[in-house]
Structure 1
Amino acid sequence: MYKIIGFPQTRAMRVMWLLEELGEPYEIDPAPPQSDTIRAVNPSGKVPALVDGDLTVTESIAICTYLTDKHGRFTFAAGTPERAIQDSFTQFAVDVLEGALWTAAKNTFVNPEEFRAPDVKKACRYEFAQGLETLSARLGDGPYVMGETFTVPDIIIGHCAGWAVAAKFDLPPDGPVYDYFKRLRSRDGYKAMTAKVKAAL
Structure 2
Amino acid sequence: MYQVIGTTRSRAMRVLWMLEEIGAPYQHVAENPRSPGVVALNPAGKIPILIVDGTPVTDSTAILTYLADHHGTLTHPAGTLARARQDSLTQFLLDEFDAALWLAARHSFILPEEMRLAGIKNTLRWEFEQSQKVLVNRMGEGAYLMGDQMTVPDFILANCLSWALTAKFPITEHRLTDYLERMRARPAYQRALAR
TM-score calculated relative to the size of structure 1:
0.93
Deviation at 1:8?
2.3
Asked whether the equivalents of residues 8 and 193 of structure 2 are also in contact (C-alpha less than 8 Å), the reply is no
Structure 1: segments with no counterpart, 5+ residues: 197-201
Summarize the alignment of residues 29-48 of structure 1 with structure 2, pairs less than 5 Å apart. 29-48=29-48
Name 2:174's counterpart in structure 1: 175
Summarize the alignment of residues 1-201 of structure 1 with structure 2, pairs less than 5 Å apart. 1-172=1-172, 175-196=174-195
Structure 1 residue matching 2:3: 3-state secondary structure: strand
RMSD: 1.1
- Structure 2 Cα separation of the partners of residues 152 and 51 of structure 1: 19
- Structure 2 Cα separation of the partners of residues 127 and 79 of structure 1: 32
Structure 1 residue matching 2:41: 3-state secondary structure: coil
Deviation at 1:64?
0.5
Letter paired with 1:86: Q
Deviation at 1:7?
2.1
Structure 2: segments with no counterpart, 5+ residues: none
* Aligned residue pairs, count: 195
- Structure 1 Cα separation of the partners of residues 178 and 5 of structure 2: 32
Deviation at 1:184?
1.2
Residues 105-159 of structure 1 deviation map (CA, whole Å, 9 limit, x = unaligned): 0000011111111110011101111111111111121211211110010000000
Letter paired with 1:154: D
Structure 2 residue matching 1:40: 3-state secondary structure: helix
Deviation at 1:54?
2.5
Residues 52-93 of structure 1 deviation map (CA, whole Å, 9 limit, x = unaligned): 113210000000000000000000111110000000111111
- Structure 2 Cα separation of the partners of residues 9 and 29 of structure 1: 13
Structure 1 residue matching 2:194: 3-state secondary structure: helix
TM-score calculated relative to the size of structure 2:
0.96
Kindly report structure 1 stretches of 4+ aligned residues shifted beyond 3 Å: none
